[in-house]
Chains A and B, each alone.
Chain A
Amino acid sequence: MKSLKIIVLAKQVPDTRNVGKDAMKADGTVNRGALAAIFNPEDLNALEQALRIKDKHPNSEVVILTMGPGRAAEIIREAIYRGADRGYLLTDRKFAGSDTLATSYALSMAIRKMEPYALVIAGRQAIDGDTAQVGPQVAEKLNLPQVTYVEEIQNITETEIVIKRRLERGVEIVKSTLPLLITVHNSAPACRPRNAKRLMKFKHAQTVTEMQNSSEDYIGLQNDRPYLRIEEWSVDDVKADDTWLGLAGSPTKVKKIDNVVFKAKESKVLSGDNGDVEWLVKELIANSTIG
């Protein structure tokens, strides 16, 4: 089989799973400074799917693409420690404030620059916004077929792929042509750990900007070791149109944010007698929990 290029879309997100008191600002937006920046969990499931293809077809290439501020290069390094071959950081002040539509546009322009590719793999959704829109929107902009909620890639050839999807009430096996975009569900296998030797080899991988700001000790390292270079792309590099980007290109407007406080509503204590059991069964059928 010839080499398959697999592009994995990843996002650096605030760790909303470990939320402290100061996680939200007074205006209702996320206080990114107070939360650790992590690899979006379902993007790790996506990366694992890509790496499994590479396990089976070792001449495949797993390329990571992320959009974000300079520090998002960290998740490219992390992906490389786990087995990705290289990565691209899409970064530019003009991207700031992009909603899912503008983000999808930017990502799709970067992906066009990476043609030809066989597969684009993304996590289903990011834990900061939980929209699950970016993957499908990227597919639309690239005019690619898409399969969402992927749990397993059962087979892949140069032209075709067989995929298992995790749906609410079961699984579905689908077949598609390539190229294709898929979004991976968190029921897919967890990502393999960072590998110590890869970490030691690639820990000095940096973008141009990072290199300019780093200590003088390791200057010149990238000349001898070109694999330590993380590509950095701007709006111009991917030939994107400014008007589709940032706040201007983002039709999403936040109207209002509510603080949700969970509290128990009315409760009923049931015993094991027949009357209570019958009441419970009726209740559960009525609200479609069973039936």
Chain B
Amino acid sequence: MSNFYTDTTDLQFQLSHPLMKKIVALKENGFADKDKYDFAPLDYEDAADTYNKVLEIIGEICDTTIAPNAESVDHDGPQLIDNAVHYARGTRENMEMLNQAGLIGMSLPRKYGGLNFPITPYVVAAEMVSRADAGFANIWGLQDCAETINDFASEEVKDEFLPRFQFGATAAMDLTEPDAGSDLQSVQLKAHYDQDRGIWILNGVKRFITNGDADISLVLARSEDGTSDGRGLSLFVFDRKDGGLIVRRIENKMGIKGSPTCELVFKDAPAKLVGDRRLGLIKYVMALMNSARLGIGAQSVGISEAAYREALKYATEREQFGKPIIQFPAVYELLTVMKVKLQASRALLYETSRFVDMYKSYAHHSEERKLEKEEKDEMKYYQKLADVYTPLVKLIASEYCNQIAYDAIQIHGGTGFMKDFPVERLYRDARITTIYEGTSQLQVVAAIRGVTTGVYLSKIREYENTKVSPENELLKKRLTEMTAEYENAIQKAQRSDDGEYLDFHARRLVEMAGNIIMGYLLLLDSERDQVYRDSARIFIKRAQSWNRERMLYIHQFEPNDLGLYKIDLMKL
């Protein structure tokens, strides 16, 4: 018996970050709800204590129900019977448990039956559930859709749909189509307004839809005749009870097998508009994707935690040449690097969560009242940061997660290749994280703005200006060197007017920035708690040599070298 919350001190550490006090004060709006709701917190200490206690409930359910079910869920998977998705037995049990514990709609306002949790503790929960079963985390994590309805829908739509989440309504976001994957602007599913009935009608096909048979679905559809780009798309909310949905099939996947990935056909399905027409993709889906990307960050860190634990356990138990294999340098280096990557990506995950919390809370306040100038500035500041940190954490956490899962198999040796240990499932589950909710390549497209606009750099300067203890000065010096090298690399990458040249090096630059940021986060974490000092040292030293390799590559890369890489289709 353990508890996925209390056995991972990093999580409690992240929740005790100094910025949390401000986040909670904003979210709770001066703790005004305490007179209206008997379950609202009385003050910051009360709220913080509540987060800990509720996360302990989730940690316990992860340990006693979700993790033990993961193997059978992976094996059984969901089934399609009579146009309805039936979850595996374990999935149903998991849902039932989380429903009984009241853990659906955690971040929704209390008036809709939610717990009014900030994003940060919700992300902690998502990380734990992912560690227990990454596939199940998708089904549970789609409660993000409630957040989008709450952010953008009319009061009428909110009142109709949001109170259902507390009773366990499941959700889906129906975006991709056979010919609209990464390129969502080309979505074809058609929405037309039926004047007589006063409702919208959906017709068309959606593909690769996680949990496609959900109770409540957000559907991206073309509402404007004659358009072909993103500005002709609107977002709709569809109620499964209203009919008109055919689940054509469930995909047979490599990993996250417990989560049903569906192909859907909408046939004259009635739906309601979310927010305003034409803002579907350019505003609402972008917001939805951002919270989903943060969710994949959490999922990736959760899988990394699980894989690291499996590897550590095996390496201490497995003996070869007369001693546990963890005593061999080749093995303990692997394990320590896994742990350091895990902690670095986790630090980035919660830094990003806090930024999202800050700007979202202000955004909600701004609907109720006019913000003061300082508040408005602060909202903009955090929104800017959240916009470039979100793709960064999605990129880095998912790539690390794959590296960690790969190394975890390596530590298991031949045994890891067998179906006998959970690590092979983790390896399969990890694989999708760099692909869905935007591939790593697309995260770079979003994150490169943080490089070119200087948002990363100005935040790095802020970290740099934070005072550190004398024993950390040397590490900080390394980070300032890395920052100079990063600036230099940006300059080199921008030497050509050809946008393609910058695109070519974009990932290198984004990852260099990510390394410096994670280095600072670990360094600053070690100021708050000594246990992070070793990780900071290892991470920063590795990151510096790694960044130098990138810098050297960019330096020696001439603008016309691009041609060497271009594949001439005519010669194929």
- A residues sitting closer than 8 Å to B (CB atoms) are 17-18, 192-201, 203, 217-218, 221, 225
Contact = CB atoms under 8 A, between A and B. Distances in A.
Contacts of A201: 38-39
A193 B1 contact: no
B342 to A, nearest CB: 26
A97 to B, nearest CB: 30
Nearest to B53: A199
B90 to A, nearest CB: 15
Given A217-B43, A218-B42, A199 B54 contact: yes
B40 A200 contact: yes
Given A195-B101, A196-B115, A203 B60 contact: no
Given A192-B97, A196-B54, A201-B38, 5 more contacts: A196-B106, A200-B115, A203-B50, A203-B53, A218-B42
Contacts, number: 49
B100 interface: yes
Interface string B484-521: 00000000000000000000000000000000000000
9 contacts: A17-B1, A18-B1, A192-B97, A196-B101, A197-B102, A200-B41, A200-B115, A203-B53, A218-B42
Nearest to A200: B39
Interface residues of B, number: 22
A219 to B, nearest CB: 12
A192 B93 CA distance: 11
B61 interface: yes
Listed from nearest, the 6 A-B pairs whose CB atoms lie closest are A200-B39, A193-B101, A196-B102, A201-B39, A195-B102, A192-B100
Interface in B51-68: 53-54, 57, 60-61
A198 B39 CA distance: 7
Contacts of B540: none
A200 B90 CA distance: 28
A267 to B, nearest CB: 24
A203 B49 contact: yes
Given A17-B1, A18-B1, A193-B60, A199 B97 contact: no
B69 to A, nearest CB: 13
Given A17-B1, A192-B100, A193-B60, A199 B50 contact: yes
Given A17-B1, A203-B50, A197 B61 contact: no
Nearest to B114: A197
B518 to A, nearest CB: 32
Interface in B92-136: 97, 100-103, 106, 115
B97 A193 contact: yes
Given A203-B50, A217-B43, A197 B115 contact: yes
A216 B203 CA distance: 61
A195 to B, nearest CB: 5
A201 to B, nearest CB: 4
Contacts of A196: 54, 57, 101-103, 106, 115
Contacts of B115: 196-197, 200
Contacts of B102: 195-198
Contacts of B61: 193
A201 B1 CA distance: 27
A225 B100 contact: no
A17 B64 CA distance: 15
Contact of A197 (B1, B39, B42, B49): B39
Contacts of B57: 193-194, 196, 199
Nearest to A195: B102
Contacts of B40: 200
Contacts of A221: 42
B43 to A, nearest CB: 7
Contacts of A198: 39, 102
A86 to B, nearest CB: 15
A228 B1 CA distance: 31
A197 B1 CA distance: 24
The CB with the most chain B CB atoms within 10 A, among A197, A200, A201, A225, is that of: A200
Nearest to B166: A197
For A192, A221, A225, the residue with the greatest tally of chain B CB atoms inside 10 Å of its CB is A192
Nearest to B39: A200
A196 B42 CA distance: 16
Contacts of A203: 49-50, 53
B41 A193 contact: no
Contact of A194 (B49, B101, B106): B101
Nearest to B43: A217
Contacts of B100: 192-193, 195
Contacts of A199: 50, 53-54, 57
A110 to B, nearest CB: 28
Contacts of A192: 97, 100-101
A217 B40 CA distance: 16
Contacts of A218: 42
Contact of A200 (B50, B60, B103): B50
Contacts of B103: 196
A269 B39 CA distance: 63
B101 A200 contact: no
Nearest to A224: B35
A251 B53 CA distance: 42
A284 B39 CA distance: 59
A196 B40 CA distance: 11
A195 B167 CA distance: 12
B195 to A, nearest CB: 43
Residue with the greatest number of chain B CB neighbours at <10 A, chosen from A197, A201, A203, A225: A197
Interface in B421-461: none
Contacts of A18: 1
Interface string B24-41: 000000000000001111
A231 B97 CA distance: 30
Interface string B382-398: 00000000000000000
Nearest to A201: B39
B44 to A, nearest CB: 11
